[in-house]
């Protein structure tokens, strides 16, 4: 079985799309809900519709991807309506992602969610690297504490946080100390590695237009960083906080590694962008084959059991 849960929320399959990838329209979201995925995540919403950055703003690469989309999305009302109407479709969860450009925007959207009929998981994205002039909140621990303090004064529904990758043990310790003070349902690590720069030596140019070519990295480039964040935060967070592992997943073995590090569920971004919904069936089969060979019947049999030497 590939079943998993986050708090009281059951998923028949631990695989989901990562926010941002093939999840901007109701058509794309319905395709994922009709696939073997355990649920879907909506494109991070802002209070109003946004066109995003100039194109080209995403480039596929042999080892992954770079993007600077700039939060193109249809606005919170569009995604909240979809979430209200489709949570539970095919027995699956809709996770509603929100990414305000300020604390006030996040509070404004979370109030709408609180007052709505949506009873699923909300994912507060504190890690978008691609909005010009805005830094990633997840790197400012005092700002993270401020937004969570304001949020939990009124927000009584289950909340997850999408976080940026951390690279230093002081950062792992610092963010865990903040998060452990709040009733967070889950964290999702990692968002893209922000502000990478891909160079095309042939044209002697950058490969995406916004921000002079700087953009978020995904795919093979980020897997070890993702595994480190899943593992380091599992070792530091209250056991009540679940972890979604995201970063570099393109095979069943990659999922196996994320779960060994402690992931409850996983999300697929870059590779889902390349393959579309058939990826959920392919990776499910690959993971089941690995579990069969190793004699594991459930994810619990090996979750978090990474060995050190």
3-state secondary structure of 83: helix
Q: How far is the CB of 14 from ligand DHB (least distance, A)?
A: 21
Which residues carry out catalysis? 127-128
| Nearest 10 degrees: Cα torsion 146, 148, 150, 154 | -170
In the bound state with ligand DHB, the residue whose beta carbon lies nearer, of 99 and 206, is 99
Part in contact with ligand DHB (CB under 6 A); list of ranges 85-93, 108-116, 125-133, 224-232? 125-133
Q: How many residues does the chain have?
A: 309
Part in contact with ligand DHB (CB under 6 A); list of ranges 104-112, 114-122, 123-131, 270-278? 123-131
Q: Would residue 6 be called left, alpha or beta, if left means φ above 0 and alpha means ψ between -120 and 50 degrees?
A: beta
User: Among 99, 144, 179, 244, which residue interacts with ligand DHB (rule: CB under 6 A)?
Assistant: 99
Quote the CA–CA distance of 219 and 222 in Å, as a whole number: 6
What is the per-residue DSSP string for 259-301? HHHT-SEEEE-HHHHHH-THHHHHHHHHHHHHHHHHT--SGGG
User: Among 127, 188, 270, 284, which residue interacts with ligand DHB (rule: CB under 6 A)?
Assistant: 127
Residue span 49-78 as binding mask against ligand DHB, x where in contact by CB under 6 A, dash where not? ---x---------------xxxx-------
Q: How many residues lie near ligand DHB (CB under 6 A)?
A: 16
Quote the CA–CA distance of 251 and 256 in Å, as a whole number: 9
Handedness of CA 23, 27, 32, 38 (dihedral sign): positive
128 touching ligand DHB, by CB under 6 A: yes
In the bound state with ligand DHB, the residue whose beta carbon lies nearer, of 210 and 252, is 210
47 touching ligand DHB, by CB under 6 A: no
User: Which positions touch ligand DHB (CB under 6 A)?
Assistant: 20, 44, 52, 68-71, 99, 125, 127-130, 191-192, 216
């Amino acid at each position: 079985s590939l079943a998993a849960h986050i708090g009281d929320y059951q998923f028949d399959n631990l695989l989901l799309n990562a926010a941002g990838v093939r999840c901007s329209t109701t058509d794309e979201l319905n395709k994922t809900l009709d696939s073997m995925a355990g649920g879907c995540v909506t494109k991070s919403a802002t209070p109003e519709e946004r066109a995003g950055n100039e194109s080209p703003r995403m480039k596929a690469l042999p080892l992954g991807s770079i993007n600077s989309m700039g939060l193109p999305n249809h606005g919170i009302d569009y995604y909240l309506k979809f979430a209200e109407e489709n949570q539970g479709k095919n027995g699956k969860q809709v996770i509603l992602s929100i990414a305000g450009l300020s604390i006030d925007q996040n509070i404004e959207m979370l109030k709408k969610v609180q007052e709505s009929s949506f009873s699923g998981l909300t994912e507060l994205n504190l890690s978008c690297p691609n909005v010009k002039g805005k830094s990633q909140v997840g790197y400012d621990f005092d700002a993270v504490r401020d937004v969570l303090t304001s949020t939990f004064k009124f927000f009584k529904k289950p909340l997850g946080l999408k976080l940026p990758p951390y690279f230093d043990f002081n950062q792992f310790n610092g963010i865990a100390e903040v998060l452990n003070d709040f009733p967070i349902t889950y964290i999702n690590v990692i968002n893209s590695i922000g502000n990478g720069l891909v160079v095309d030596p042939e044209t002697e140019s950058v490969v995406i237009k916004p921000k002079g070519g700087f953009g978020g990295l995904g795919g093979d480039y980020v897997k070890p960083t993702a595994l480190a964040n899943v593992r380091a935060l599992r070792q530091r967070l209250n056991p009540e906080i679940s972890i979604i592992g995201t970063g570099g997943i393109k095979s069943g073995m990659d999922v196996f590694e994320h779960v060994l590090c402690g992931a409850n569920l996983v999300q697929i971004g870059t590779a889902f962008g390349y393959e579309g919904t058939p990826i959920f069936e392919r990776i499910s089969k690959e993971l089941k084959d690995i579990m069969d060979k190793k004699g594991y019947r459930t994810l619990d049999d090996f979750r978090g059991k990474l060995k050190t030497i």
